[in-house]
Structure 1
Amino acid sequence: MTSWKTDFLQTQITSETTPKRALVILNQPFSEGLFLRLWSSSQWHCCADGGANRLFDVVDSAQRTLFLPDLIKGDLDSIRNDVKDFYISHGVPVVEDADQDSTDLMKCVSAVQDLETEQQSEYDIVLLGGLSGRLDQTIHTLSYLHKLRKTRKRIFAVTDDNVGWVLDGGEHIIHIDHSILGPTCGLLPVGIASTLLSTTGLRWNLWNQPSSFDGLVSTSNHLVPTEDTVWIRTSNPIWWTAELRS
């Protein structure tokens, strides 16, 4: 049984008992409020190329030095010169990786892995972006996190509208904070031929229900306000998504 929490979306400062988290900022729009929550709940911060533009623009100019990332990495074809010059002048490493067989997201995850090797410590990864904007980039996020389930315990993708992650085959308990999540959610058979789904804690529960792109897909399901957990059993990996409240 794997247990999941989204406490990194809460407004309070994280405690010493919460997992270490690495925030990877992608080149997609996001609100200041969401950014501030994720920044404060993460211990290491990285911008994927043009994600540095997003960080630079979302923060008031008088406070930019309070939100300096630990690293900017990518092929650097999107970062603006004024943004790059600002962060370099404040000591932020800006690393060009011209490998065209890996995306900027993949390069930043590799940087997190290097950090973990150096510190002998594991981080949860939170992606700010990745589920909105261009469809091909969204599909890349879905595919890449599907693959990463084999090597990483927890990696989440967050936008202003949704939070999502991959549930590997097996049983899962998702702890629901109804002040943050809902009401809608989805169980998506992405990257697999089919799966068998069973659930509790949803408005429309499933029991050994076949799910596939050729058959049933549980979209627009609802969290139940009186239920603090959702239990899911899936025979193959799926994507779980939940709506974020304003």
Structure 2
Amino acid sequence: MQRYAPLNCISSFSRNEKLAVLLLNKAINDDSSDQVFKKLWHEAKLRACVDGGANFLFDIQQKCNNGIRYDKPNLICGDFDSIRPEVKDYFSSFNDIEMIQTPNQDATDFTKCVKLIGEKLSSDLGIDHIVALSGIQNRFDHTMANISTLYTTPSLLPSGTRLSVMYDCSYLTLLHKGKTVLDVSTGQEGDWCGLIPVGHPAIVTATGLKWNLKNFKLEFGKMISTSNMLDGSGVVSVETDYPIIWTMSYKI
């Protein structure tokens, strides 16, 4: 059984977790996603930019007029088709930033970055939670690619290391086969949540929701659990016979 708080990373208890943060393609919005970035980037033990994610870090630093200097990334990787030339030149000037080009077109830059970090975690970095930040949701194909990367987690990361994606107002992660207990009492939880089977039906029992499930078959084309809500108990229990996406809204 797994037990954790999905939004612990942005709560006042986040220092209990050792975080790695990945910046995916995003734009400066002055919204909740930027606030999440500022909090998590500062606290992360490992920081990485996935190709064009480096543009965001460069731009937010240039925009900053209050003297704040954001920590440099440890790693920038990807096929480098999205990072702007001046941004690549800037970060390449630092000897302590790894610039790793990964031209393989059979995997997304996100997947390749997770694989690289998985290899680094084998060197006892001790990361509990990898959070990928993206404020861009206007590309459905990218969203589906991110979900596909979540499904690769078991083969890319050491056992016990979680991977999640955070958009402007939503969080998603993969719940593995078996039972998972989620602490949803951090105070950062929003109004909605959902359990989404992708690529395969799942038999799910879930409690702690406004609409609980009992040995219920979730399947695209039939019934999936979207627009659900937490019941206020502070705990959600999910048991599934196949990996399933857990998604929820968050607030800052």
Same fold by TM (over 0.5)? yes
The aligned counterpart of 2:138 is: 133
Change (3 A) 1:22 1:38: same
- Is 1:144 aligned with 2:145? no
- Is 1:238 aligned with 2:241? no
Number of equivalences: 241
Q: Deviations over 1:197-222 (max 9, x none)?
A: 21111111111111101211110000
Question: Which region of structure 1 is more displaced relative to structure 2, 98-107 or 120-129?
Answer: 120-129
CA distance in 1, matches of 2:149, 2:250: 22
In structure 2, what residue type is equivalent to 1:29?
A
Change (3 A) 1:132 1:155: same
Change (3 A) 1:161 1:180: same
Structure 1: runs of 5 or more not aligned: none
CA distance in 1, matches of 2:122, 2:242: 30
Find 1:188's aligned residue among 181, 196, 201: 196
% identical equivalent positions: 32
The aligned counterpart of 1:85 is: 89
In structure 2, what residue type is equivalent to 1:157?
V
CA distance in 2, matches of 1:197, 1:150: 23
The aligned counterpart of 2:170 is: 162
In structure 2, what residue type is equivalent to 1:197?
V
Shift of 1:27: 0.8
Shift of 1:78: 0.9
CA distance in 2, matches of 1:13, 1:108: 23
The aligned counterpart of 2:11 is: 10
The aligned counterpart of 2:49 is: 47
Q: State whether residues 92 and 99 of structure 2, in contact with CA within 8 Å, keep that contact through their aligned partners in structure 1.
A: yes
Shift of 1:159: 1.2
Q: Deviations over 1:71-130 (max 9, x none)?
A: 111111111122122222333232222222222112211221232233364542111128
RMSD over aligned CA atoms reads 2.2
The aligned counterpart of 1:33 is: 35
CA distance in 1, matches of 2:14, 2:225: 34
Q: State whether residues 49 and 73 of structure 1, in contact with CA within 8 Å, keep that contact through their aligned partners in structure 2.
A: yes
Shift of 1:40: 2.8
Change (3 A) 1:229 1:12: closer
Q: State whether residues 74 and 108 of structure 1, in contact with CA within 8 Å, keep that contact through their aligned partners in structure 2.
A: yes
Change (3 A) 1:42 1:157: same
The aligned counterpart of 1:69 is: 73
Change (3 A) 1:179 1:47: same
Q: Secondary structure at the match of 1:149?
A: helix
CA distance in 2, matches of 1:101, 1:195: 27
Change (3 A) 1:98 1:64: farther
- Is 1:57 aligned with 2:67? no
Change (3 A) 1:242 1:74: same
Structure 2: runs of 5 or more not aligned: none
The aligned counterpart of 2:211 is: 204
CA distance in 2, matches of 1:89, 1:12: 36
Q: State whether residues 210 and 216 of structure 1, in contact with CA within 8 Å, keep that contact through their aligned partners in structure 2.
A: yes
Q: What stretches of structure 1 move > 6 A for 4+ residues in a row?
A: none
Q: Secondary structure at the match of 1:182?
A: strand
In structure 1, what residue type is equivalent to 2:41?
W
Find 1:117's aligned residue among 93, 97, 122: 122
TM-score computed with the length of structure 1 as normaliser = 0.89
Shift of 1:29: 3.4
